Every structure is written in structure tokens, then in C-alpha cells.
Amino acid sequence: MDNQIGDFVSTLVPSDAVPGAARRVQAAYERLAEADRPEAWITLRERADVLAEAAAIDAAASDLPLAGLVYAVKDNIDVAGLPTTAACPSFAYTPERDATAVARLRAAGAICLGKTNLDQFATGLVGTRSPYGAVRSAHEDARISGGSSSGSAVVVALGIADFALGTDTAGSGRVPAALNGIVGLKATLGLIPVDGVVPACPSYDCLTVFAPDLAGAAEAMRIMAGPAEADPASRAWPADHRCAAPPAPRIAIPEAPGLAPLDPELAPLWEAALARFAAAGAELVPIDVQPLLEAALLLYEGALIAERHAAFGAHIDAWPADADPTVAEIVNGAGKFTAADLVTDQQRLRQARNTAEALLDGFDALLLPTAPQHPTIEEVAADPIGRNAAMGTYTNFVNLLDMAAVAIPAGAAGTKRFGVSVIVPAFDDQVAIDLAARAQAVPSPLFAPAGAELVVFGAHLTGMALNHQLTDLGARYAGETATAPAYRMYALDTDPPKPLVVRSNAGASLPGERWLLSEAALGRFLTALPEPMTLGKVELDDGTWTTGFVANEPAGRDITTTGGWRAHLDETR
């Protein structure tokens, strides 16, 4: 890889000399040459080919959502025409088609730079189990990058790629994010199709995104999400998913014993992270997380390891010289379990899911350290299995229990990096993103689809008496709006006070708000409305029509001239 990068250096043209997407590609190769992390890559595309792809995007002058962004792909995910190795040279093959997720990114205008290094067969959380070299942290040569998606996280942290794809079974899409100071997004299992991904533990594998920030990660995830015929385990969003976190969320955190694995040097960073979530309006409630940590042990210490042996054990048996010794030891450990053991552990896992659901009932999320430590490469070499097991303390259970997670950076203690993860039940991905964004004091990007739009004009406005009826349903504020000048507003004598909006030839434009919510939530909202409140189509000032509060006949006192419900309440105070 050193020679390959050297070839790129000698042929670079200054990035400010080329336009658009081509400029971003050129800048990526310039940064690649500066970064000195050749072990982060397994295959780099020819610069001329990547520039040609960028030129085609520039020439099209399209509004593709990811036009001109460059990304990297973990080398257990298929990119047509590039070898897939899973960090095992004898396993290599060259796919003719993209994985569905890659194809969707390509169609959206993103440009793939190449394939990144990983813990072999995606088995590890350290980033050192590869014949292509141990991947160093982006910020400190002596420390691990985390795995298995090591190279993908590092090339994002170094500013080479705008985002990168990883995979996650035990925490591989989150631990490297924490150890390199970036965002890692692990969606609900099945939301991102995994066809074209070399299986590690097929029941619990998922495809993830690394990015410098939440906005970039969520946009790439949004593009990739959705069922695919090629992946029978892929899932669609349910009709009742939440589109937003509540204004005052309850977040579970570990009681003191649950933090025993945390490196004392990182403990102040954990406390600082808690303070940020509390300052953002969250109620933090300590709970006993031990049942979750015990469930995590099933992934590597129980019969579920048989899934890894079924996925790639035969190749390791046939090509032992190519196998990382630690990976081989782990996978060959499946031989001590019987089919009955596997059934028993699957039953234990079902019970663990019930236990977790009861434990987290009434909470919007669980907040945990992403990794309890940030060891050096030398420390991992001295205890490869023990150190790796420690890295998965707070991540291994998430996929087993069908949960989603967002990993965000939370600072550094010397050369040790630290991060925290917001963990939520399946399909509450948007809730996790919102909570992470609040803690970082940044706008929250939309990942979950909004099935319906609702406009409100009175007691359901932000800060008003009935707004909680929307937020309790997971509705998402989407901005201010106004009706066409064809409506009148009437104040009803109710408790709490509410207005009626009626279409009129002698009407005015009334101010309101847009809210987004799932289709099922809109249905529940409608059925709970008291008379004479109802929903119908409302014309907005831009000429569009959407669902909102309307009435067929006026009732109460006409307050149209006050200028809307807030203005009316101000007058009556």
C-alpha cells in the first residue's frame, strides 16, 4: 500500500485547480498522501477512475443528495469490480454487483475511494487482527483504532473520506467511532440491507456508517435504508415508529457497579457527558445494567459462536495459514458446543430480550460508555482475547437484544479517546439521534421517514396546553407555516381553551406549525380528538394542501383579527 500511495502523490494536481466533485476527490487523495495510515486500506481505486466518475457527476449538474461526497467501504462489503477479502487473502473474490447499500449510495452520487482494513472476518473489536497490518488510531500511533471496522473509522477521522461504511455485530460500528473521535450510527437490525456483506454472525450482522458528525451519518443511512429483495431479513419501518424524542426524555444510566469496567482515567469524561445530557433536558435515572452485560456474554462465550463457524469456519479450516490466530481460536471454539447448546442459548436470549424490555420500560433510551478503555497495540498483543472482550462490555448485547445505537465522541484523557452511546429499542433510531444531537448542541438530522404531516394552529402549538398530545406520539416539529388567506379562527369556551379554524370567503392567513408523525400516530391522534375538533385538508399560503384542524361550521367567538392563537392568548392575559 505504501507504493500505491506514493504513486498517487507523484501525479496529484492541486485540488483548487479542478471543479466540484473532482475537487473533493483530489483533496481526498492529497489528504491520503499526508495522513500516513497505509494500513487503513486494503484496496484503493485508481485515481484516474475515481476522477472520471467525479467528472461525470459534475457534468450531469444534478441535484443528487450525496453528489461529490467521497466514502470508503469496509472490505467485507461488496463493491462491483473491487476485490472483497474480509482481510483474508485466500478468501478474496471480485463481485460483479454492488451490495444493495453501496448501489444506493452510488445512485445518490457518492463516490467510493476504495476498501478499508478490518479485523479478519469482522471478528474483533481491536483493529489489530489483520494480515494487512494493525490499524493505528487516527490520533495516536501507539493506540488501537478499534475494530472490526478499523480502517473505515480511521479514514473518516483523518479527513480522507466524508463518511465510511462499516459493519457491526458486537460493536464494530461503534467502538472504532469512540476511539477515533467520530460518530458511529448502528441502525435497527434489517433497516439497512446486508446482501453483499460477508456474514460474520448472520442473525445479528448490520451495516453501519462512520462520519465526522450526526448529519453526515444520518444522511448516508437514510439513503441506504429500506427493504431489498436480495436480503430476506431486511425490514421496513413500522407504521407506528417515533419521529422524534420527547422534550423531557427519561434516560437510563448504569448504577455504580455497572461502571466498574470503566478506566478510571476516563471516568471524568463519562461524568461530563452525563452533565451535557442533563443540561439538554434529560432526566438521568440509574439502573442495574448487569442483566444486559450478562446477555452480552452469549455472543462470544456461548453457543451462538456457531453462527461464525457456519459463516467462515470452513475457509479457516481449509486455509489455516491465512487465518489470524486469535480469530481461528475463537471460531474453532464452536466445536465444543452441540446443537442442543445452541437451542438452549437461543432460548436464553429470548428471555434476555424480555428482561431488557422490562428493565427499560418507561425510559426513552439507555446511555452507556461506548468502550470502557482505550488500550495500546502492545497491550492488546499481550492479551488479545481478554482486551477484546473488555472492549465489547457495553456493546455486545445491542444487536442480540434487537436495539439501535448512536455512538458520539465524548473527549480524550491524554491520548485515550472516549465516547458514549445512546441505545434505544428497535425502530426508535430517530429518538437516539435526537438525544445525541441535543447533547452535542447541534441540529438533529432526520433519519426516520415521516409518514404524515399535520399543521396545527391552536392549543397543540409548541408550548401550548395540548402540545404534549403530539410529542407523546413521537411527532416532530418541522417549522412555522401559515394558511392561505381563506380561513377564520374562533375561540371555544373549553378547558383548556381551543380554537376552531373554518374556511371562509372572507378569511385571513392564520399562523401555525408543521409537525411530522407516523401514519399510525396520526390515526391515534385523530381518534382521540373531542367534538367538534376534526382533521381535514387545509390550504397553506404556498398553495399546497395538507392535513390540519378544520371545522365545517363556526362556533365560539371570532378572533381572526387578533392574528392567530398566540396573539389571542396574549390579548387575554
Give 396-439 pLDDT, tens digit per residue: 999 999 999 999 999 999 999 999 999 999 999 999 999 999 99
pLDDT value, residue 10 = 39
- Please say whether the dihedral angle defined by the alpha carbons of residues 128, 131, 136 and 138, taken in this order, is positive or negative: negative
Choice among 14-28, 303-317, 528-542 with the minimum mean pLDDT:
14-28
Count CB neighbours of 89 within 10 A: 13
- Residue among 137, 148, 150, 444 flagged as catalytic: 148
Residue 144 scores a pLDDT above 50: yes
Whether residue 435 contacts residue 422, with contact meaning beta carbons closer than 8 Å, is answered with yes
- Per 3-state DSSP, what percentage of the chain is helix, strand, and coil (rounded to 5)? 40, 20, 40
Q: How confident is the model at residue 18 (pLDDT cuts 50, 70, 90)?
A: low
- Please say whether the dihedral angle defined by the alpha carbons of residues 561, 565, 570 and 573, taken in this order, is positive or negative: positive
Helix pair angle (20-35, 47-60), 10° resolution: 150
Q: How confident is the model at residue 528 (pLDDT cuts 50, 70, 90)?
A: confident
C-alpha cell at 60: 450531469
The amino acid that residue 554 corresponds to is P
Whether residue 303 contacts residue 345, with contact meaning beta carbons closer than 8 Å, is answered with yes
User: Could you tell me which of 117, 116, 100 has the C-alpha nearest to residue 108?
Assistant: 100
- Alpha helix (H) ranges present in 80-184? 100-107, 150-157, 175-180
- Residue among 74, 115, 186, 498 flagged as catalytic: 74
**Span(s) in the chain for CATH 3.10.490.10:** 452-572
Report the alpha-carbon distance of residue 371 to residue 298 in Å, rounded.
18
Count CB neighbours of 451 within 10 A: 17
* Mean pLDDT within 475-488: 97
Q: Is there a catalytic annotation at residue 172?
A: yes
pLDDT value, residue 262 = 98
Tens of pLDDT along 249-292? 999 999 999 999 999 999 999 999 999 999 999 999 999 999 99
* Mean pLDDT within 510-517: 97
pLDDT value, residue 19 = 58
pLDDT value, residue 60 = 84
Cell numbers 421496513 correspond to 236
Residue 14 scores a pLDDT above 60: no
* Mean pLDDT within 372-392: 97
- Residue among 149, 172, 234, 421 flagged as catalytic: 172
Provide the 3-class DSSP secondary structure of residue 137: coil
Choice among 287-291, 368-372, 518-522 with the minimum mean pLDDT:
518-522
C-alpha cell at 514: 408543521
* Mean pLDDT within 505-510: 95
Q: Which fold has domain 2-440?
A: Amidase signature (AS) enzymes (3.90.1300)
Share of the chain above pLDDT 90, in %: 92
* Mean pLDDT within 7-31: 70
Which residues are CB-neighbours of 279 under 8 A, at least 6 positions away? Answer: none
Tens of pLDDT along 212-235? 999 999 999 999 999 999 999 999
Q: How confident is the model at residue 450 (pLDDT cuts 50, 70, 90)?
A: confident
Whether residue 197 contacts residue 206, with contact meaning beta carbons closer than 8 Å, is answered with no
Whether residue 522 contacts residue 547, with contact meaning beta carbons closer than 8 Å, is answered with yes
Q: How confident is the model at residue 573 (pLDDT cuts 50, 70, 90)?
A: confident
Q: Which fold has domain 452-572?
A: Hypothetical upf0131 protein ytfp (3.10.490)
Share of the chain above pLDDT 70, in %: 97
Which residues are CB-neighbours of 196 under 8 A, at least 6 positions away? Answer: 77, 78, 95, 97, 98, 99, 100, 101, 102, 230
Report the alpha-carbon distance of residue 84 to residue 92 in Å, rounded.
5
Cell numbers 399562523 correspond to 511
pLDDT value, residue 11 = 45
pTM over 0.75: yes
Residue 35 scores a pLDDT above 50: yes
Provide the 3-class DSSP secondary structure of residue 269: helix
pLDDT value, residue 2 = 42
* Mean pLDDT within 527-545: 90
Report the alpha-carbon distance of residue 489 to residue 551 in Å, rounded.
10
**Span(s) in the chain for CATH 3.90.1300.10:** 2-440
* Mean pLDDT within 448-473: 95
Tens of pLDDT along 105-121? 999 999 999 999 999 99
Choice among 17-31, 59-73, 557-571 with the minimum mean pLDDT:
17-31
Whether residue 155 contacts residue 40, with contact meaning beta carbons closer than 8 Å, is answered with yes
